[in-house]
Amino acid sequence: MTNSRVPGSLAGGTGPQRREAVFGLPSGSPPIDASQAVAAACRGALSGLSSGGTEAAAKASRRRQVQAGRAARSPAERARRDALRANCFFGAFDAWPAEAPRVVACYAAVPPEPATEAILAGLVQRGVAVLLPVVGPAGGGWRDPDWAYWDGSERLRSAAGAIPQPTAPPLGAAALQAASLVVMPGLAGDRSGRRLGAGGGWYDRALRHSQPKAPRWLLLNADEVDAFLPAEPWDEPVDALITEAKLLICSPPRPRPPS
């Protein structure tokens, strides 16, 4: 992996509020070295959803759009984007201005969503403990949020919804409190931190157990960054969007308790 720093232009600047949003740092922390570009600039901001119809209908329509777009991409194009996205991820992770997270909650992606194989491998190589979701047995419905550690050596098994999950004992929903960074899947996101998930609400429920100050990073393709997404009261926001082109810090920052 390339251990390049994240430039201020990609991270949306290095002001105190933005730095606190992406890294979970207090505003008085020293500045971040942001001198080298991680990836080419993204194609411009995309138009948002239509204001017509209900929020639920608009979200369902956008889900269908994204799913169709992902399915239409060739394996080679997905692999190209995945490599750039992993490079962008570790450009930000390796630029962590304080002690880097020792525990990261991530997920094992299912094609054609943005891949996490290289990200998981890179975290393990860096000595990071990785938590993965436990969603329930194959052929069954999704269970309440649960997590298990994965050390990179054990084989993942197919679970509910064909989601790969660890074979290690599940630790319960509260295990997410150990993670200093939460890396999340989604179908779209906007610059204010709204996230469009698959519609089951699993992550919205899971995040209630996370550290309040742990940053939340959403992995997307660049054409899945919208100008605006509808949100409902239970939708949990994110702090940054990571695409194959750049890291975008969401603004305004997600409210966090005082230090």
Residue 162 — very low, low, confident or very high, per pLDDT cuts 50/70/90?
confident
Q: Within a 10 A sphere around the Cβ of 212, how many other Cβ atoms?
A: 10
Residue 163 to residue 76: CA distance in whole angstroms: 22
β-bridge pairing 247-249 and 240-242 = antiparallel
For 83-87, 114-118, 233-237, which range has the lowest pLDDT when averaged over its residues?
Answer: 233-237
pTM over 0.95: no
Residue 87 to residue 1: CA distance in whole angstroms: 6
Cα separation values, 99 from 95, 96, 248, Å: 10, 7, 22
Q: Would the pLDDT of 243 be above 80? A: yes
Q: Would the pLDDT of 42 be above 50? A: no
* Ordered alpha helix ranges (H), the chain: 8-11, 16-23, 55-72, 75-93, 117-125, 202-206
Tell which residue, 135, 250, 148, 132, has the closest CA to residue 200. Answer: 135
Per the listing, tokens 């979970």 go with 24
Residue 119 to residue 108: CA distance in whole angstroms: 10
Distance, C-alpha 241 to centroid of its chain: 7
Residue 95 to residue 103: CA distance in whole angstroms: 16
In the prediction, which pLDDT does 139 show? 59
Residue 171's contacts (CB-CB under 8 Å, 6 or more residues apart) are 131, 146, 147, 148, 149
Residue 140 to residue 160: CA distance in whole angstroms: 6
In the prediction, which pLDDT does 24 show? 54
Q: Terminus-to-terminus CA distance in the chain, angstroms?
A: 33
Q: Going from the N-terminus, what domains does the chain have, and what CATH number goes with each?
A: 70-249 (3.40.50.10420)
Top pLDDT among 153 and 15 is at: 153
